[in-house]
Structure 1
Amino acid sequence: MFKLFFKGIIIGVANIMPGVSGGTLAVILGVYDKLTEAIGNFLTVPFKKKVEYGKFLLQICSGMLIGIILFAKIIEFSFTNYPRSTAAFFSLLILPSIPFIVKGEDKKNKNNITAFIIGAVITLIFVFLDYRFGSKTDTKTLVEVITFSYCIKLFFCGALAAGAMIIPGISGSLLLLMLGEYYNILGFISKFFDGAVHITSYTSLSEIIQNLYIIPIAIFSLGILIGLVVIAKLINMLLSSKHRSATLFFITGIIVVSILQIWVNLYK
């Protein structure tokens, strides 16, 4: 139980780091297959299987939640004050683990080699486009007025970020950064826990909802949930088919090149 919980913490920390993919860490930690299977099939399997999936997801997701809560401010501080050291640490964490992703697979198979190259080239294109045309968001001012249109944006940002989080090599946090919502999301989470400490001082339910930023957090979370289910279902179908080996090599190609993204975000 604690092993899965600890892996969840690591994945959670990765998900709040711009340029680092939670999906990549899930692959390296050996829980990616089960994670996409559980998320993608949870609603359609028999009750007994739901219980099995539920226990697994509870351990992983609770670890992710703790990782996000405990390390959100630490990660922000590290990247702000020690960006290169932090990037180097996570690069060195990921690189030695890459060979284990395709352990036991046929490394000389032409289809697998082609899949690896395609994954690497596609990711390289995105890294280049991000470096050439992307913008690094520097604003850390929390949005003050939560409008209906902003809630719609938050929902789609959540869905897109969730899809990015579960695909190895694509950083959900980096996507949020490029969409201009990364610091807002971190701010909402921070304000929620700051407000929860003083919850007894609020005099009405509306005051609690407003000061704890419950509405934007709930809408963003709903977007994440829907994005996770849709993308996880698709990934699980590929990993469960005859294309599993090629899919793993494709993912490996993405991961190898995506390490560049951690550094690209520092030098834009």
Structure 2
Amino acid sequence: MYILNFIRGFCMALADSVPGVSGGTIAFILGFYDNFVNSLNNIISGDKIGRINALKFLTKIGVGWVVGFILSVLFITTIFEKNIYEINSLFLGFIIASIPIIVKSEKKTLLSNNKNIIFLIIGIIVVCGITYFNPITSKGHSFSVRADNLSLAFGAYIFISGMIAISAMVLPGISGSTILLIFGLYTPILNAIKQVLKFNFEYLPSIIIFGFGILAGIFLTVRTVRSLLRKFRAQTIYCIIGLMIGSIYAVIMGPTSLEIPKPPMNPATFSIVFFAIGCTLVPALEKLKVILEKKNIESITT
């Protein structure tokens, strides 16, 4: 189980570090989503035994996540700006391929509550609106989260972005990285993390603010998301799908959030090859889920 949970955490980190599929989606596809959310909830409000068991499980997942995230950040930030259109084509493949998985898994809920489709439209409008009006990409010039660029308002913006991004990690839908992309902070935050890993502490204040936003998001949203999925599941799932559809626009506009902005993706810069790879990887994870579950059952029986 240690190796299995390491792989689970590693796969979640790869998803969380790129816009498109969320870590929650990976947890959902690999079959440990409920255990993941319940463990987070137990850490916050469980009894002593529940917290100990949750901590053991999340630690196993966390080791794989940290390794995967560091490797992913070091790799992605190296190639991101040079190959932005290929990478974003890959992200589009992730998003579009993951939507049918969510629809299929929640088919009964969606069909029996189709009047709630308005929440899908709301999700689309929210993401497209934030992407279009956000104060970063709308500036149209280079952007950085170095300490000399910080102000009270901008610090609050980073804090809120971190809080919302980590809440997205819990949902099997839009990813936290997509949230950062929507807010224009994806490339700046990843670059800041990379610089801190290289002991360039000009970016450390922004990372600390972002980190506190993540902690606040965990405490404020985990129970809320868990409650919404239990009490208003159909509305929540429709909204998640809407957020995912709207994030397609956010990915297309992604190049405008680079430190040296580039034009939005268009048919000429779209890469069908990378898009196809993204579409292939998501169903491949479903097959990985079956393989891991089979091996887990075999290890228990033997």
Q: 2:108 matched to which residue of 1?
A: 106
Q: Secondary structure at the match of 1:139?
A: coil
Q: Secondary structure at the match of 1:106?
A: helix
d(CA) in 1 for partners of 2:105, 2:182: 34
CA contact (8 A) 1:123 1:258 kept: no
Q: 1:201 matched to which residue of 2?
A: none
Residues 66-215 of structure 1: pairs in structure 2 closer than 5 A = 66-101=67-102, 102-103=104-105, 106=108, 109-111=111-113, 113-115=114-116, 117-130=117-130, 132-134=132-134, 136=137, 139=142, 141-145=144-148, 149=152, 151-177=155-181, 179=183, 181-195=185-199, 211=201, 215=205
Segments of structure 1 that go 5 or more residues without pairing to the other structure are 196-209
CA contact (8 A) 2:21 2:173 kept: yes
Q: 2:289 matched to which residue of 1?
A: none
C-alpha displacement of 1:8: 2.1
d(CA) in 1 for partners of 2:151, 2:128: 34
Match 1:224 to one of 211, 214, 218: 214
CA contact (8 A) 2:146 2:202 kept: no
Q: Kindly, what percent of the aligned residue pairs are identical?
A: 29
C-alpha displacement of 1:70: 0.8
Higher relative contact order (CA 8 A, sep 6+): 1
TM-score (norm 2): 0.66
**What letter is aligned with 1:227?**
G
Q: Secondary structure at the match of 2:44?
A: coil
Distance 1:211 1:45, change over 3 A: same
CA contact (8 A) 1:20 1:262 kept: no
Segments of structure 2 that go 5 or more residues without pairing to the other structure are 256-263, 266-302
CA contact (8 A) 2:20 2:92 kept: no
C-alpha displacement of 1:147: 6.2
d(CA) in 2 for partners of 1:184, 1:78: 14
Instruction: Provide Cα deviations, 1:214-265, integer angstroms capped at 9, x if missing partner.
Output: 5543332222012022211111123344x44664455345445544543343
C-alpha displacement of 1:79: 3.6
Q: Is 1:59 the counterpart of 2:49 in the alignment?
A: no
Residues 27-42 of structure 1: pairs in structure 2 closer than 5 A = 27-42=28-43
Instruction: Provide Cα deviations, 1:42-80, integer angstroms capped at 9, x if missing partner.
Output: 232122211221122112233222222111132234442
Distance 1:110 1:178, change over 3 A: closer
CA contact (8 A) 1:36 1:235 kept: no
Instruction: Provide Cα deviations, 1:73-132, integer angstroms capped at 9, x if missing partner.
Output: 322344423334323434444544544444375267431x334x2343123213432564
**What letter is aligned with 1:239?**
L
Distance 1:81 1:106, change over 3 A: same
CA contact (8 A) 1:120 1:257 kept: no
Distance 1:223 1:12, change over 3 A: same
Q: Secondary structure at the match of 1:42?
A: helix
Count of paired positions: 251
Q: Secondary structure at the match of 1:81?
A: coil
CA contact (8 A) 1:21 1:165 kept: yes
Q: Secondary structure at the match of 1:56?
A: helix
TM-score (norm 1): 0.73
**What letter is aligned with 2:120?**
A
Q: 1:237 matched to which residue of 2?
A: 227
CA contact (8 A) 2:163 2:213 kept: yes
CA contact (8 A) 1:119 1:253 kept: yes
Distance 1:264 1:248, change over 3 A: same
d(CA) in 1 for partners of 2:165, 2:61: 18
d(CA) in 1 for partners of 2:249, 2:22: 12
What is the root-mean-square deviation in Å for CA atoms of aligned residues?
3.5
Distance 1:120 1:265, change over 3 A: farther
**What letter is aligned with 1:120?**
L
**What letter is aligned with 1:40?**
N
Q: 2:291 matched to which residue of 1?
A: none
**What letter is aligned with 2:108?**
D
